[in-house]
Amino acid sequence: MKMFDRQVSLGLIIASREFFNGTLALDARRDVIAQLDKLGIGYHILPVDATNNGTVETKEDVRKYVQLFDEHRHDIDGFVVLLPNFGDEIAVIETIQRSKLNVPVLVQASNDELDKVDLRGRRDSFCGKLSVCNNLRQFGIRFSLTRQHTMDPQSPAFREDLRWFDQVCRVVKGLRSARVGAIGSRPAAFNTVRYSEKILEAHGISVEVVDLSEILGRIGRLYDTDGRVHDRIALIREYQPMMNVPEASLLKMAKLAVVLDEWIEETGVVATAMQCWTSIEEFYGVAPCTVMSMMSNRLLPSACEVDITGAIGMYALTLATGVPAALLDWNNNYGEDPDKCVLFHCSNVPKACFSHMQMGCQDIVGSTVGFENAHGTCVGRIKPGPFTFARVSTDDLSGRIRAYAGEGEFTEDPLETFGGAGVAHIPDLQRLLHSLCANGFEHHVAIAHARVARALGEAMGNYLGWDIQLHNA
């Protein structure tokens, strides 16, 4: 089951210190469970009577917490540390350390009330959070912070922090064990899509490689009358309107889709990057764009031009958002507006990213291999609304994974072009473009219609150890 298909589950650690009011933990417990239930996030927590108010403080408490988390270790994607009072930092550290779960950790501390800072009512969580974070740092445990130093667990602000942490956990979990499919070889003219398998593997990401000849060979063994092929033709017809697309081209697309689905099932890849020009058009007679678009639309990201790290960026966005991602070019300026540009591809953009679309001919490739061999591209306007952009890149010179992410908005500004395109407004765009050029990033960028740049930054930078730049996020 892929990470975006299942519910995130969190281990809840409620900390206390003996000379503070431990019953405050009961309110924190109730409030955080209510928040998680509203968000559809799962959780594992000790029964309230397992320890004093269900908190962790003593070594025996630690043992019980660790036992609980060990029983659910394959189901826990992150920890939330709740500090209804100062908390015991040693107990927190031992619980996380002894669990041996390398997952994200979110630290929350509750507000004091001005009329309840007497000996009985005070929390001192404000101070306790500093102690817990100091110890996490001492022990080399990476952790995340709420946007405000202290906040009430029942507050809307904390609910948004939990939603953000859910995204962080999804990205971390998904990318640590991702398997990406490279279908064919990269275009000879594009050094820009080269990548390092070894660097990716050092970070837990593997690449499954298949030659395009194997895919075409499997297609050759597939009968035109196969029921799966006819079912796929029906799905393609339903997917988008068509402009003068021959039946023979539809048949080729359907066969390609069936074979790719078989190979994806066999290999367990979560995303693909495909040799989309010009071999498949010249030697098979169809553009694979619609097939790739349909895969991305059902949350199996598929990148153009064997851009493996582009596919990883798409997958990261899909993990964080739960919606389809596209791979586009930073392609054109938009008149004289320094904060607008045209994002474009020729295209395999998923249906969910379009305001309108239809199947057409890949005009660029068709001009060299014949237009009759280039049917299948997705033509339309990318829908308006906020979006996140992201790029992942392997850097052989440093041996590191580098990335960037930011947010903008697709507009309804007029645009007359072909392929799949949209006008993007990105504040301080010129500074961003200067940075991309200065740091040698690729011309491809992944996008998804949601605001998740901060979550990507936290997941990739803090937990995965990648070098990531955030633009205005």
pTM given for the model: 0.96
Strand partners, 9: 42
Query: Cβ contacts of residue 451 below 8 Å, gap of 6+?
Result: 386, 387, 388, 407
State the pLDDT at residue 18. Answer: 83
State the pLDDT at residue 167. Answer: 98
Q: Would the pLDDT of 118 be above 90?
A: no
- Helix (H), strand (E), coil (C) string for the chain: CCHHHCCCEEEEEEECCCCCCCCHHHHHHHHHHHHHHHHCCEEECCCCCCCHHHCECCHHHHHHHHHHHHHCCCCCCEEEEEECCCCCHHHHHHHHHHHCCCCCEEEEECCCCCCCCCCCCCCCHHHHHHHHHHHHHHCCCCCEECCCCCCCCCCHHHHHHHHHHHHHHHHHHHHHCCEEEEECCCCCCCHHHCCCHHHHHHCCCEEEEECHHHHHHHHHCCCCCCHHHHHHHHHHHHHCCECCCCHHHHHHHHHHHHHHHHHHHHHCCCEEEECCCCHHHHHHCCCCHHHHHHHHHCCCCEECCCCHHHHHHHHHHHHHHCCCEEEEEEEEEECCEEEEEEEEECCCCCHHHEEEEEEEECHHHHHHHCHHHCEEEEEEEECCEEEEEEEEEEECCCCEEEEEEEEEEECCCCCCCCCEEEEEECCCHHHHHHHHHHCCCCCEEEEECCCCHHHHHHHHHHHCCCEEEEECC
% of the chain surpassing 90 pLDDT:
91
Q: Would the pLDDT of 224 be above 90?
A: yes
Query: For the residues 292-314, what does the mean pLDDT come to?
Result: 98
Look at strands 9-14 and 42-44 and give their pairing.
Answer: parallel
State the CB neighbour count (10 A cutoff) for residue 51: 22
Query: For the residues 260-287, what does the mean pLDDT come to?
Result: 96
State the pLDDT at residue 121. Answer: 59
Instruction: Report whether 435 contacts 308 (CB < 8 A).
Output: no
State the pLDDT at residue 188. Answer: 82
State the pLDDT at residue 187. Answer: 84
State the pLDDT at residue 19. Answer: 75
- Measure the CA–CA gap between 354 and 364, rounded to whole angstroms: 21
Q: What backbone phi and psi angles, to 5 degrees, belong to 68?
A: -60, -50
Domain layout of the chain by residue ranges? 3-176, 179-471
> Which of 250, 241, 248, 345 is CA-nearest to residue 291?
250
Q: Would the pLDDT of 116 be above 70?
A: no
State the pLDDT at residue 323. Answer: 98
On average, the pLDDT of the chain sits at: 95
Task: Give 382-404 pLDDT, tens digit per residue.
Answer: 999 999 999 999 999 999 999 99
In this prediction, residue 93 has a pLDDT band, given cuts at 50, 70 and 90, of: very high
Task: Give 123-178 pLDDT, tens digit per residue.
Answer: 799 999 999 999 999 999 999 999 999 999 999 999 999 999 999 999 999 999 99
Task: Give 431-448 pLDDT, tens digit per residue.
Answer: 999 999 999 999 999 999
Would you say domain 179-471 falls under CATH 3.40.50? no
Instruction: Report whether 245 contacts 378 (CB < 8 A).
Output: no
Task: Give 167-178 pLDDT, tens digit per residue.
Answer: 999 999 999 999
State the pLDDT at residue 112. Answer: 80
Q: What backbone phi and psi angles, to 5 degrees, belong to 282?
A: -70, -40
State the pLDDT at residue 3. Answer: 66
Q: Would the pLDDT of 307 be above 60?
A: yes
Among 241-245, 252-256, 374-378, which stretch is predicted with the lowest mean pLDDT? Answer: 241-245
Specify the CATH class of 3-176 in words.
Answer: alpha beta
**The two structure tokens encoding residue 470:** 């955030």
Task: Give 325-351 pLDDT, tens digit per residue.
Answer: 999 999 999 999 999 999 999 999 999
Identify the burial level of 124 via C-beta atoms within 10 angstroms of its C-beta, where 0-12 means exposed, 13-18 middle and 19 or more buried: middle
% of the chain surpassing 70 pLDDT:
97
In this prediction, residue 203 has a pLDDT band, given cuts at 50, 70 and 90, of: very high
In this prediction, residue 117 has a pLDDT band, given cuts at 50, 70 and 90, of: low
Q: Would the pLDDT of 236 be above 60?
A: yes
